[in-house]
Structure 1
Amino acid sequence: MFTKDGESTLWGQFFLQEKRFQHSQHVARWPCALEDAAATLCDAAPVKVLLFRKVTHLQTLLSRRARHEKLEEAIQDALQVHRYWNDTYGRFILDCVANHDGLPPRIQSWYVVLAGHWHLAGLLLADMVEAVDKAQMGREAHRLFRQSSRLIWKLRKQNAYAVANLGRCSSPHVDSSFPKGPEFHFAVNKGALLTEPWTVVLIRSFGKAGYILLDSISSDGQRGQSNVEKDVSSSEAEIQCGFCIRALWYLGRKSDMAYLVATALSNALKNKIKIRNAAAPPPLTKTFSAPDTEQSDTEFLGQYLSPNLLDDETFAFSFSPVSG
């Protein structure tokens, strides 16, 4: 249950002010002491929950067709949390990705799970802002500014590529340092992403990022023409999408849903590459099934990766009222 709007906003502002004060005392960058790294990740976890709270609140307002003032205020509150994370913890997470195999296994597992959740919240925020703008329920001036600044595109690009990088470095590989640590059971010690106890969240994170990257790949080999990626070649998006698929394959060891999402993404990607690489347009015969397969795979992905948080028990967070 959400508190009243005023209490919720006050709680969020007070929370971020307190975090800013703590952050001003120390800024962790890797390499650093294990205790400092753990403290930074522990400090970042509530901010992740706060963003999910803001995104869910925005969807609640949207479903109730709230006034545009309330919607714009909710969008700005969510974006403020997103900016705060990037300014405060973003560099440390990038340090962890760049030095993944040099991190202690405990830190590898912790930051991968935390960042995987965070970037999913960022992708869902982009979906909610897009829904508000498409319905023209916010202020027109703000909507036009978001369009001109390509806000939704930037949110999706930043978070989708960040998730792909998590898949690249945290999936099991030959030279991985993770299995050498004694902290984890042998069933999950092949790679950091396998230690996630709430597997469905990482499935949604890698699946949604992969779907976004897939949507940016043009079948004719030109630059992607979707609302996600227009400035890089399709080949780069293919590589990043492949990292998401690889992560989902490994999560498939724990979850049948991860296997299904990985299969759907892989088939859709292969079909796009097949059509692009074909020397001639595919014959219009009943034996050619690639377009139908791609459609069924993308439809499945679109339905499973729907941004509706209100009907999804995975994100049914329960928040206690703020005592006054």
Structure 2
Amino acid sequence: MLGVRPEAPEEAGSVDSRVPSLSPPRSGSTMDVSPGATAALRGEVVDNVLLGQKVAEAHMRYTVTQDLFRIYHDSMENNLACWVTEQTCPYSVFRNAPGTNAREHMPSVKWRGGSAKWEDRFCAQACLLDRAYSHVRERKLTAIEEKNVSHAFHKAIMAFAMQWARRKTDRGLKSPNSGIAKATEDCWNEAYRSLQICAGVESIRVLYACLIFGLTARPRPCPSDHELLDMARMDEESSPFGVFSSQAPSQRKHAASIPSVLQELLDADQATEFLEHAARQLRMIRNKLEERKIHRGSCAAESHGFGTHELDTFNLIFWMGVVFETVHSPVFKRPIVITEEDCAIHIPSNSCAFNDPLPSYSSSAAAAAAADELQQKLPLWGDMLLQQRAADVDARKIEPGSFSTFEDIAEIISEAATIKTLLFRRVSQLQASIREIAPADRVERFIQETLRVIGFWDRSYGQHMKQYMQQHDSLLPRLQSWYCLILGHWQLGVLLFCEAVEEADQGGLSPRCRLEHRETSQSVTRLRMRTALAACNLAKACLHTHKKDPTSVEPALFHDVFQPAALLFEPSTTLLVRLFTKAALLLIDEISEDECEYMMLDPSKSLIKQHVNLCIKALECVGAVTNVAVLMASHVSQKLTQAISGAR
């Protein structure tokens, strides 16, 4: 536990033996106070004053630390409890054991939706797993390494939580208190330096801290906000495309694009290099565990302090890393670190009992050959996840129109998170094929596979999400925070997919027949516009959340900083910033399209203004966490004003 627990106050009327009485001598007293005694008395008083100050400072540090841990817990741990569970983790030991029923053997998830108590499960498990991993590393960390790792681990969590320390004004650009802004920046910089120092240490805590810090928004100095907006205007004026241009529709989309100066800020909003470092460490450790299992056998592993329980815990953290990297790589258009082969699921073959020890091998080549015989490698990103979720949907027998229990809704949202991850993986595969200028049939295969995932979502989990938006106020706060973020991520993934398809078609990487069909049917344009409007509806729903009754004596379910809206629970703010910015600019761009289907239904442009304003409000809400959202909100507002005035 960070900080120092404050000492309990003494009972009223008690006398501290360390503090002498300062009352004057009684009348007629013959006691003489020498100069030396007076000096000693003053020294004791000063010592006690300093002691009181130290206790007060320690108490304040303890309180702040506990407050920040609560914020970390309510955002990160709260969402991980939905995104990464034993039931949805494809690497679960119990799920992949031959001849077993996964749901019978896997630990049950106790959602505890109405309870204010929630363990920091992943944080604690990372610490315990790191201790057990010393048996795999075959050495304990040195005293200096332990100190550096512990410091970096805590600083990463503190830097993550400090994002919510911002406070916003009522009007204009939102800006935090200068003291809080300085503290946030200092904490981020210290975490950055601490993780760099530990970069070479093989530790579960280090890679977990890198995963957390990789999602943390980089602090931006507020005084430069107006200057950046001026630079954005200059950037637009120098652009070859005006707000309204006579260019073809495929080119005119650039009119409402994000200026390069703001795009650079958006791309640099998170230290994604730490996510990549964590992904490399996870890949390396998983390979080491597989080799260890081949050389020693699973029973031998149990006797060396890293058994089935520890392996299953690592698999959860590995799946957490896969989810984080899979979602963020296509957003930043970066290559995937944990490749398709690295993500393969290792399943023991039926010829080998699950807990039987494997024979030892003298060479890695022989061990690798034995591994191929004694286990199967199932590709994760094929049809497996779709088949599993389809089976879950069929077995549940819950109609989207019917309202369910907390546990049922939580299970549905958790399963939907897996399909959301699959969508981002498909988008990443499509982006990679475009970068590599792959053959047209391969590019088209990724497009069709992504459309298949989208179609499955629309028929299943998408129907449930619509119900949750309609009945948002009836849901418990925890469910609100879960479904809003999953749905927001999904919508961003669909918009990224539409951008990739458009890039492939314009670059001539698609088969001619498919390209002509998409142009004729406008299927991608319709999908993108439908998703942008859905993002506006999501903003309308999740800008509100439950507020604690001031007369209630029950403890608050979440920290006060999350009270304004469910959007504020997002651990990775760049996802929401990009979603609402893209959705708003797409709608603004349609104002110039007087003959488009949407504008024909809204000739007065009142509806489009309402939808864009919802995105602006959502960006301003997220601006309580990151200044980049504030800048994007201001940019979108300016574009809306220009578009409305230019269309008259």
Alignment TM-score, normalising by the size of structure 1: 0.77
Shift of 1:232: 3.2
Contact 1:161 1:209 survives alignment (8 Å): yes
Contact 1:209 1:244 survives alignment (8 Å): yes
Cα offsets for 1:186-243 (capped at 9, x unmatched): 011111111112111111111111111111123xxx7365xx9455323322211111
Distance in 1 (CA, whole Å) between partners of 2:472 and 2:639 is 30
Shift of 1:179: 4.8
Distance in 2 (CA, whole Å) between partners of 1:10 and 1:43 is 15
Aligned to 1:17: 387
Distance in 2 (CA, whole Å) between partners of 1:11 and 1:254 is 34
Which of 487, 511, 518 in structure 2 is aligned with 1:139? 511
Aligned to 1:188: 562
Identity %: 31
Aligned to 2:456: 84
Aligned to 1:315: none
Distance in 2 (CA, whole Å) between partners of 1:47 and 1:194 is 23
Aligned to 2:421: 49
Shift of 1:9: 7.3
Q: 1:75 to 1:179 in 2, by over 3 A?
A: farther
Q: 1:61 to 1:178 in 2, by over 3 A?
A: farther
Distance in 2 (CA, whole Å) between partners of 1:248 and 1:48 is 22
Distance in 2 (CA, whole Å) between partners of 1:45 and 1:86 is 14
Distance in 1 (CA, whole Å) between partners of 2:548 and 2:616 is 21
Contact 1:223 1:232 survives alignment (8 Å): no
1:110 aligns with 2:482: yes
Distance in 2 (CA, whole Å) between partners of 1:12 and 1:48 is 14
Which of 53, 64, 68 in structure 1 is aligned with 2:440? 68
Quick one: which amino acid aligns to residue 232 of structure 1? L
Contact 1:109 1:195 survives alignment (8 Å): yes
Aligned to 1:3: 340
Distance in 2 (CA, whole Å) between partners of 1:224 and 1:98 is 31
Shift of 1:118: 0.4
Aligned to 1:209: 583
Q: 1:224 to 1:270 in 2, by over 3 A?
A: farther
Distance in 1 (CA, whole Å) between partners of 2:501 and 2:425 is 15
Aligned to 1:158: 530
Q: 1:237 to 1:9 in 2, by over 3 A?
A: farther
The equivalences for 1:1-324 within 5 A come to 1-3=338-340, 11-26=381-396, 27=398, 29=400, 30-172=402-544, 176-179=545-548, 182-218=556-592, 223=594, 225=596, 229=598, 231-233=600-602, 234-277=605-648
Distance in 2 (CA, whole Å) between partners of 1:250 and 1:10 is 36
Cα offsets for 1:87-121 (capped at 9, x unmatched): 11111100111111111111111010100000000
Q: Any idea what SS the aligned residue of 1:217 has?
A: helix
Distance in 2 (CA, whole Å) between partners of 1:149 and 1:126 is 14
Shift of 1:268: 1.0
Aligned to 1:316: none
Distance in 2 (CA, whole Å) between partners of 1:95 and 1:206 is 21
Distance in 1 (CA, whole Å) between partners of 2:587 and 2:557 is 34
Quick one: which amino acid aligns to residue 546 of structure 2? S
Cα offsets for 1:244-271 (capped at 9, x unmatched): 1110011111110000000000111112
Aligned to 2:72: none
Greater Cα offset, 196-205 or 233-242: 233-242
Q: 1:178 to 1:134 in 2, by over 3 A?
A: farther
Distance in 2 (CA, whole Å) between partners of 1:199 and 1:262 is 14
Distance in 2 (CA, whole Å) between partners of 1:253 and 1:112 is 18
Contact 2:473 2:546 survives alignment (8 Å): yes
Shift of 1:183: 1.9
Higher Cα Rg, which structure: 2
Q: 1:9 to 1:213 in 2, by over 3 A?
A: farther
**Number of residue-to-residue matches in the alignment:** 267
Distance in 1 (CA, whole Å) between partners of 2:615 and 2:399 is 28
Distance in 1 (CA, whole Å) between partners of 2:450 and 2:467 is 25
Contact 1:122 1:159 survives alignment (8 Å): yes
Shift of 1:2: 2.8
Quick one: which amino acid aligns to residue 577 of structure 2? I
Q: Any idea what SS the aligned residue of 1:12 has?
A: coil
Contact 2:430 2:447 survives alignment (8 Å): yes
Distance in 1 (CA, whole Å) between partners of 2:399 and 2:412 is 7
Q: 1:78 to 1:244 in 2, by over 3 A?
A: same
Which segments of 5 or more consecutive residues in structure 1 lack a partner in the other structure?
278-324
Contact 2:385 2:418 survives alignment (8 Å): no
Alignment TM-score, normalising by the size of structure 2: 0.40
Q: 1:43 to 1:177 in 2, by over 3 A?
A: same
Distance in 2 (CA, whole Å) between partners of 1:188 and 1:42 is 21
Q: Cα RMSD between the aligned structures?
A: 2.1
Distance in 2 (CA, whole Å) between partners of 1:159 and 1:178 is 29
Distance in 2 (CA, whole Å) between partners of 1:179 and 1:112 is 20
Cα offsets for 1:142-185 (capped at 9, x unmatched): 1111122211112111211111011111114xxx5345593211
